[in-house]
Amino acid sequence: MKRVFSFFLFSFLMSLVALAQDPQGVKNIDLPDMYRQIDEAISQSPHYIADYEEKLRQAKQALETADDEQRLMQLMEISRMYESFCGDSAQVYTERALELARQGGYNEIEGECMARLAYLCTFLGSQTESLTLLGRMSPHALSSEALVTYYRAYMMVYSNLSSNTQLQQMRQEFGELYACYMDSLLATAPEGSEMYCLHREPQLVGEGRLEEALKMNTQRLNMTTDGSHENAIVCYSRYTIYREMGDMDMAKYWLCKSALDDVRNAVLDQMSLIALAELLDAEGDTERASRYISFTWECNRKYSPRMRSWQIAPLLTAIEDSYEAKILHKSRILTIWGGVVSL
């Protein structure tokens, strides 16, 4: 009996050790230092943005000396560069690439451009335009890469529709269509690729297979460059895994790292910092939450006037109200203590 108890005790302690250590070797988490780095990065944001704009200028300049095929590839590259910086511009350059592909008879690239444009439309909240574009496409004529983007666009459309409808029956139907296209994407994307893992990982989390999800996430981290925007995306996913594990210190570390890398990479589609602001507000750190949500509001407003405002506005109002209430409370306490001292 003692041996059985000792075995279970040992297993329990080892599980605690596993939770306390990150496979990436993260130890001695210093969240105040992470917040300090984020604050410093935000203060330097204009410089990061200026540097990125210079990269975009150089990329556009390369169009002047390119032949048609090179120009087509460069237009798609500029669109990808704009994807996290200015959503509307990403659409514009994809449309330019699509027109050039049609004129030059580049049928395979035309399909890729169409699928990408449909994805960008739904990503920016234009579900009708996305469905119209997707309806004009024949999946059998698409390359495997374009087909993955095609399924991803459909997934996002039905995810958004499911989230926004007030009708229970429609929510269920949209959810089923989302799952159907998710299955199609996972069957098409090469297993182990970033696109496969990006969508398979949340499934594992939803199924409660957290250790598997963490292992997959570690593989993704090892395939990206530390400090890059791609790495920041993986770090955000890692945050969600640790959140489900209940290890909030580790979760906040990876969320902070994702937010920090996004700011340093001039990412204006700020999602990690929004999540961090909401988390800090719930913990009572309303002053920092207010600074972060105000910064993300300005970033996302520049990213796309149509994008995320409906998501951020309620959170911005709630955090600002909470911050003002906290200031008012402090003011009242100081007034009371002032009266006490004067007695």
**Going by C-beta distance under 8 Å and a sequence separation of 6 or more, which residues neighbour residue 331?**
none
Where does the chain show beta strands of DSSP type E?
none
Rg (CA), the chain: 23
**How far is Cα 89 from Cα 139, in angstroms, rounded to an integer?**
26
**How far is Cα 236 from Cα 272, in angstroms, rounded to an integer?**
7
Nearest one of 119, 159, 110 to 138, comparing CA atoms = 110
CB 227, CB 263: distance < 8 Å:
no
| pLDDT tier, 7 (very low <50, low <70, confident <90, very high otherwise) | very low
Global model pTM greater than 0.75 = yes
pLDDT of residue 315: 56
Q: Name the residue with higher pLDDT: 324 or 112.
A: 112
pLDDT of residue 22: 76
CB 162, CB 171: distance < 8 Å:
yes
C-alpha pair distances (Å), 107 with each of 80, 110, 144: 20, 5, 14
CB 86, CB 94: distance < 8 Å:
no
**How far is Cα 94 from Cα 124, in angstroms, rounded to an integer?**
14
**How far is Cα 108 from Cα 154, in angstroms, rounded to an integer?**
20
pLDDT of residue 321: 53
> Does the pLDDT at position 199 exceed 70?
yes
pLDDT of residue 338: 44
pLDDT of residue 314: 59
Digit-coded pLDDT (tens) for 277-303: 999 999 989 899 989 988 998 888 888
Digit-coded pLDDT (tens) for 116-175: 999 999 988 889 999 999 999 999 999 999 999 999 999 999 999 998 899 999 999 999
In a 3-state reduction of DSSP, which class is residue 29?
coil
C-alpha pair distances (Å), 145 with each of 75, 115, 149, 193: 17, 10, 7, 11
C-alpha pair distances (Å), 119 with each of 55, 86, 122, 150, 183: 24, 15, 5, 7, 17
C-alpha pair distances (Å), 168 with each of 154, 172, 224, 266: 20, 6, 40, 39
**How far is Cα 319 from Cα 307, in angstroms, rounded to an integer?**
20
| pLDDT tier, 10 (very low <50, low <70, confident <90, very high otherwise) | very low
Q: Name the residue with higher pLDDT: 336 or 249.
A: 249
CB 217, CB 23: distance < 8 Å:
no
**Going by C-beta distance under 8 Å and a sequence separation of 6 or more, which residues neighbour residue 83?**
90, 120, 269
pLDDT of residue 82: 96
pLDDT of residue 303: 83
Digit-coded pLDDT (tens) for 307-336: 555 555 555 555 555 545 444 434 443 444
> Does the pLDDT at position 79 exceed 70?
yes
Q: What is the dihedral of CA 318, 122, 87, 276, to 10 degrees?
A: 30
> Does the pLDDT at position 232 exceed 60?
yes
Digit-coded pLDDT (tens) for 12-70: 444 444 444 577 767 789 999 999 999 999 999 999 999 999 999 999 999 999 999 99
Q: Name the residue with higher pLDDT: 11 or 260.
A: 260
Mean pLDDT on 193-218:
96
pLDDT of residue 313: 54
* Span of 238-242, 257-261, 338-342 with lowest mean pLDDT: 338-342
Write the DSSP string, 92-137.
HHHHHHHHHHHHHT-HHHHHHHHHHHHHHHHHTT-HHHHHHHHHT-
Tokens, residue 184: 């199609």
**How far is Cα 33 from Cα 42, in angstroms, rounded to an integer?**
14
